[in-house]
Amino acid sequence: MLRPEFASRVTLKCQACGTSHTANRPLWACPCGGILDVLMRARFPKESMALRAPGLWRYREALPVALNTPPISLGEPQTPLVAVALGAYRVYLKLDFLFPTGSFKARGAAVLLTKARELGVTSLVEDSSGNAGAAIAAYAAAAGVKATIYVPARAARAKTAQIALYGAQIKVVAGSRADVADAALLAARSQYYASHAWNPFFLEGTQTIAFEIWEQLDGRVPDMVISPVGHGTMLLGLAKGFDSLRRAGMTTHVPRLIGVQAAACAPLRQAFRQGGSELSPVQPGPTQADGIAIGRPLRWRQILQAVSDSGGDIVAVGEDAIARSMSYWARRGLLMEPTSATATAVLEDFAASNRLQPEQVVVVPITGSGMKSAVSNTEVVVGDGS
């Protein structure tokens, strides 16, 4: 049972028509078709947090789930924040590939599935042939919820195999990435849509990376965070998480957010450069960064606003720089997937061209494990979304 006081603490606000909905039924979009955001007053009570193990469930008062709802958990760790030297600079890598599913998408899936179970959901659909599909499939399995994942015919095999092994039903859709999304949307008329792009509870989960960074830096917030961006689940999570900390009085400033796209698919960068009032969808070119090969990011307005509010930027990197950075870090012992190496490529570029200040605290989330891509990406694959 939801406590009445709790139910009123969480609302879902529509970006299009402004309507606020109560969060006590399985709603993933506004009936008007608009995108929903979770609104709640996050709290960070030191005493309650200290009683809980490190990890994302430590921040329950900042998550839109009733305090007595049992979390769907696969033992999510507080991921390490590792200081590394880069030329004259010291920067931090946040090892978010160390989740049970091999990517940070576990953050979003854990909170989404916990909320879904709280709402009585028994079956759901998602469209993703990548880390998001795998994370939703894993947490659905842990929750005992039936998952159907729609994937394009040209999906990376290692990730599709992972989704199948978790027991999710896979529906292969011929055609473009948009056709896959359309098929899932159709199915979502009768089932809960666990879309990492649409479903606002996914972002509520990814924001926990900001809470962990804040605690790991002893209550400070970095000056800059550099993150890959496609649909924005990492970048918007960072923005939302740091903003929650600011509104709760835990910090006075928030980091500059640098979103990184692959040059082969950079609609957000182009829109940001052109002032941010419109976005021209692109047809993704071939890229190793298949996790962010998103030609038309659903929450593009919100992403551009978050980057602009933070005083940040959106940049693009080429395939050579991605491959070079991935290999550079692998030779320092860190195997990441190419999508993650878009952000480290920018980090190296900023360091090499002295665009960092020596005293600045810079964090780069390492979003996905190189274990899956090392097998399937030995040659360049065409982006199929995340």
Ligand X SMILES: *Cc1c(COP(=O)(O)O)cnc(C)c1O
By CB under 6 A, residue 325 contacts ligand X: no
Please state, in angstroms and as integers, the Cα–Cα distance from residue 56 to each residue in 2, 43, 50, 93, following that order: 21, 14, 13, 18
Q: Tell me the per-residue interface mask from 238 to 277 with ligand X, x by CB under 6 A, - otherwise.
A: ----------------------------------------
By CB under 5 A, residue 34 contacts Zn ion: yes
Residue 301 amino acid letter = R
CB of 124 to Zn ion, least distance (A): 22
How does DSSP assign 92-132, residue by residue? EEE-TT-STTSBTHHHHHHHHHHHHHHTT--EEEEE-SSHH
Q: Tell me the per-residue interface mask from 17 to 56 with ligand X, x by CB under 6 A, - otherwise.
A: ----------------------------------------
Q: Rule CB under 6 A: which of 105-134 touch ligand X?
A: 105, 130-132
Tell me 227's DSSP state: E
By CB under 6 A, name the one of 133, 152, 205, 291 that touches ligand X: 291
By CB under 6 A, residue 205 contacts ligand X: no
Name the one range near ligand X by CB under 6 A: 12-20, 143-151, 229-237, 346-354.
229-237
Q: Answer for the pair 242, 254: CB distance below 8 angstroms, yes or no.
A: yes
Question: With contacts defined by CB under 6 A, how many residues of the chain interact with ligand X?
Answer: 22
> Which residues are CB-neighbours of 128 under 8 A, at least 6 positions away?
136, 149, 151, 196, 385, 386
Tell me 313's DSSP state: E
By CB under 6 A, residue 386 contacts ligand X: yes
Residue 116 amino acid letter = A
Q: Answer for the pair 213, 222: CB distance below 8 angstroms, yes or no.
A: yes
Q: Tell me the per-residue interface mask from 6 to 25 with Zn ion, x by CB under 5 A, - otherwise.
A: --------x-xx-x------
By CB under 6 A, name the one of 232, 295, 370, 383 that touches ligand X: 232
- CA 278/CA 300 separation, integer angstroms: 9
* Contacts with Zn ion, residue ranges (CB under 5 A): 14, 16-17, 19, 30, 32, 34
